[in-house]
C-alpha cells in the first residue's frame, strides 16, 4: 500500500487487523482496545489526555533534547563532528540537509504522533457523559493547546503541511487527508484552537500539584506569539491587525503574572530544580522526575563536557552541548547570564565552550545523571521580549524600550538608552530591533527559540544576508556560506514526496 508515514501512524493506531475475507478468521485483536471503544468514562479521557502530555517527552518532537531541530539550525549551537551517524545530524547546522535525512523524518513522525493522540482524545471524549461540563471544557482546551503548539512547530519548519483535526479511521480517509494544506489555513486552525483555550475555564495558572498542565496564561502567551509570527511572516495586508492581536494577548498574559517585577526573580532560580514547581516566571513546562530511570531529565549530564562536573555528578567523556563562538562573543561584558549559561572546558578533546544552563548535581540525581530539570517551553521573559518586539513594530518605541529594560535590569545591565551610548554595544546592535533580537538571544539561549526568532525578525532574503555576514571562524566546522533562501524551510521527508509527489510536493531548492 502506498502511504506516507502520517498514514502509517494513523492506520496502525486506528484500523483493525486486515482479513482475508474468510469467515473463520479473527478480524480484531482480542488483546487490544480500539480507540473508538476505549473512551467510556471521564477517567478514560483523563488517561488519554495524560498520554498526549506523555508524547511531549519524545526527544524527536519538542522535548529537552530536541535542539537538533531548532537550536542547531541556528547560529547558537551545532556540532563539529561531521562523521557520526553518516553525518546526518551535522546536516542541520551545515545547511546541507537532505530530504532523506532520517532524523528529519523522525521529527516529522513524532510531531504527527502528538497530533494524532490529541485528535483521538478530542473525538473520544464526545462519547463520554461528564458530570461537570467544565471538566470536559478544560480537557478539550488542554488537548487543543497541545495540538496548536505542535502545528505551530510544523508550519514554521515546513510551511504548508497536512492538517488533520480528527481521527482517520480508514485507508480512504487517510488518503483523502494526506496533502499539504496552505500555511494560512494551518494558522487559522492554530488560532481557532488557542482562542478556545483562552476562553475556556482553565485556571490562569496551574497549582503546584498540576505543574506541567496547560493554563490560560499559556494559551494567551502562545496565541500572542502566533499572531506576532503571522504579522511578520504572512501576507503583510494583515500585519497591523495581527500585531494588535499579538499586543492584546501578550499584554493579557503579562497582566496575569503572579509576581511583581521580573528583576525580583533571580535568573538562576528559573532553572533551579528545587524551585521549578513554584517559580512564578515559568508558564508552561514538560515535567521530569528526578532520580527516575524512566522519567528523569538527561539534559544536564548530556550537555556536560569531559573533565567537568558543574552540570551533573555523571562523568562524561564527550564535548557536551557545543556553543558557537558567534554566540559567546555576543554576550556583553559583565552579563551574568554568560557565566551561568556557558563554560569553557579545558579537556584536550574539547577546548571549547559547553552549555551549563541546565544543572542538577544533587545526590538524588546521582552519578547516573537522572536529573530533575523541567523543559521550559514558555516563560515570562519570553513574553516580555515579545511585547517589546510587538510595540516596536507598531511604532511604539518608548513602550518597547520599557519592556526591553525589564529583562536588562534583571541581568544588571545598563538600560537601553544608556547602553546605546556605548560604542561596543551600538556598533553591534545599531537599531532597537537588533537590540531586542540580541536580548532574546542571550536571555533565551539553548531554549530552542533562536531559529524561530530569526525567521520572524528577517525576510528570507534578509536572513540570507544576516547569516552569510557571519564569520566562518566563529561558526565552526559547518559552513555558514551554505545558507540560502531554501533553508527558510526544511525539506518534506523523502518518503512523503516519493509516495505522493503532487499532494506532498517538495519545498523549493531540495
pLDDT in tens, 436-458: 999 999 999 999 999 999 999 99
Task: In whole angstroms, give the CA distance from residue 386 to residue 406.
Answer: 12
Domain extents in the chain: 288-373
Task: In whole angstroms, give the CA distance from residue 493 to residue 82.
Answer: 21
Residue-wise pLDDT for 312-366, tens only, equals 999 999 999 999 999 999 999 999 999 999 999 999 999 999 999 999 999 999 9
Residue 131 pLDDT > 70: yes
> Within 125-182, where are the H helices?
133-158, 171-177
Percentage of residues in the chain having pLDDT higher than 70: 92
Can you tell me whether residue 160 is helix, strand or coil? coil
Mean pLDDT of 231-237: 96
Average pLDDT over all residues of the chain: 93
Task: In whole angstroms, give the CA distance from residue 146 to residue 28.
Answer: 31
Residue 17 pLDDT > 60: no
Residue 40 pLDDT > 60: yes
pLDDT band at 37 (very low <50, low <70, confident <90, very high): confident
Given its phi and psi angles, is residue 509 left (phi above 0), alpha (psi -120 to 50 degrees) or beta? left
pLDDT band at 47 (very low <50, low <70, confident <90, very high): very high
Can you tell me whether residue 289 is helix, strand or coil? coil
Residue 281 pLDDT > 50: yes
- Predicted pLDDT of residue 114: 98
pLDDT band at 81 (very low <50, low <70, confident <90, very high): confident
Instruction: Look at 3-12, 262-271, 319-328, 470-479 and tell me which has the smallest mean pLDDT.
Output: 3-12
Mean pLDDT of 292-312: 97
**Residues of the chain by 3-state class (helix, strand, coil), percent to 5:** 50, 5, 40
Rounded to the nearest 10 degrees, what angle do helices 239-255 and 216-233 cross at?
A: 160
Question: pTM of the prediction?
Answer: 0.93
pLDDT band at 13 (very low <50, low <70, confident <90, very high): very low
- Predicted pLDDT of residue 437: 98
Assigned C-alpha cell, 465: 544576508
pLDDT band at 82 (very low <50, low <70, confident <90, very high): confident
Assigned C-alpha cell, 290: 528526578
Amino acid at each position: 500500500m502506498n502511504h506516507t508515514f502520517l498514514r502509517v501512524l494513523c492506520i496502525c493506531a486506528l484500523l483493525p487487523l486486515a482479513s482475508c475475507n474468510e469467515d473463520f478468521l479473527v478480524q480484531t485483536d482480542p488483546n487490544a482496545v480500539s480507540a473508538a471503544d476505549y473512551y467510556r468514562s471521564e477517567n478514560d479521557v483523563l488517561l488519554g489526555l495524560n498520554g498526549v502530555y506523555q508524547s511531549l517527552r519524545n526527544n524527536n518532537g519538542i522535548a529537552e533534547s530536541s535542539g537538533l531541530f531548532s537550536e542547531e539550525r541556528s547560529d547558537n549551537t551545532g556540532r563539529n563532528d561531521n562523521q557520526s551517524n553518516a553525518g546526518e545530524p551535522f546536516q542541520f547546522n551545515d545547511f546541507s540537509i537532505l530530504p532523506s535525512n532520517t532524523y528529519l523524518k523522525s521529527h516529522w513522525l513524532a510531531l504527527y504522533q502528538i497530533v494524532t493522540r490529541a485528535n483521538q482524545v478530542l473525538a473520544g471524549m464526545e462519547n463520554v457523559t461528564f458530570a461537570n461540563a467544565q471538566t470536559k471544557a478544560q480537557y478539550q482546551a488542554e488537548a487543543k493547546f497541545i495540538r496548536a503548539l505542535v502545528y505551530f512547530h510544523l508550519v514554521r519548519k515546513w510551511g504548508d503541511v497536512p492538517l488533520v483535526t480528527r481521527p482517520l479511521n480508514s485507508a480512504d480517509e487517510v488518503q483523502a487527508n494526506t496533502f499539504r494544506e496552505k500555511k494560512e489555513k494551518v494558522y487559522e486552525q492554530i488560532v481557532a484552537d488557542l482562542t478556545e483555550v483562552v476562553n475556556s475555564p482553565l485556571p490562569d495558572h496551574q497549582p503546584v500539584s498540576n505543574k506541567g498542565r496547560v493554563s490560560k496564561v499559556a494559551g494567551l502567551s502562545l496565541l500572542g506569539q502566533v499572531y506576532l509570527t503571522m504579522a511578520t511572516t504572512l501576507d503583510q495586508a494583515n500585519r497591523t491587525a495581527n500585531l494588535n492581536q499579538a499586543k492584546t494577548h501578550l499584554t493579557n498574559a503579562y497582566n496575569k503574572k503572579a509576581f511583581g517585577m521580573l528583576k525580583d526573580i533571580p535568573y538562576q532560580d528559573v532553572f533551579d530544580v528545587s524551585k521549578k514547581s513554584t517559580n512564578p516566571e515559568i508558564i508552561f513546562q514538560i515535567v521530569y522526575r528526578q532520580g527516575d530511570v524512566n522519567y528523569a531529565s538527561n539534559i544536564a549530564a548530556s550537555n556536560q563536557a569531559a573533565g567537568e562536573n558543574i552540570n551533573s555528578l555523571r562523568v562524561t567523556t564527550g564535548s557536551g552541548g557545543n556553543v558557537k563562538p558567534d554566540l559567546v562573543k555576543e554576550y556583553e561584558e559583565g552579563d551574568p547570564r554568560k557565566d551561568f549559561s556557558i563554560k569553557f572546558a579545558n579537556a584536550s578533546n574539547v577546548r571549547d565552550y559547553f552549555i551549563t544552563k541546565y544543572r542538577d548535581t544533587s545526590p538524588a540525581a546521582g552519578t547516573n545523571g537522572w536529573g530533575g530539570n523541567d523543559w521550559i517551553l514558555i516563560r515570562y521573559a519570553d513574553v516580555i521580549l515579545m511585547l517589546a518586539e510587538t510595540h516596536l513594530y507598531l511604532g511604539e518605541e518608548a513602550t518597547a524600550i520599557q519592556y526591553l529594560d525589564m529583562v536588562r535590569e534583571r541581568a544588571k545591565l545598563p538600560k537601553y538608552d544608556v547602553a546605546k551610548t556605548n560604542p561596543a554595544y551600538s556598533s553591534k546592535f545599531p537599531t532597537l530591533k537588533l537590540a531586542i533580537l540580541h536580548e532574546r538571544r542571550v536571555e533565551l539561549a539553548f531554549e530552542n527559540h533562536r531559529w524561530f526568532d530569526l525567521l520572524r525578525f528577517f525576510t528570507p532574503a534578509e536572513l540570507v544576508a544576516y547569516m552569510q555576514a557571519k564569520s566562518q571562524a566563529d561558526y565552526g566546522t559547518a559552513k555558514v556560506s551554505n545558507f540560502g533562501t531554501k533553508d527558510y524551510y526544511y525539506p518534506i521527508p523523502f518518503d512523503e514526496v516519493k509516495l505522493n509527489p503532487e499532494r506532498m510536493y517538495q519545498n523549493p531548492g531540495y
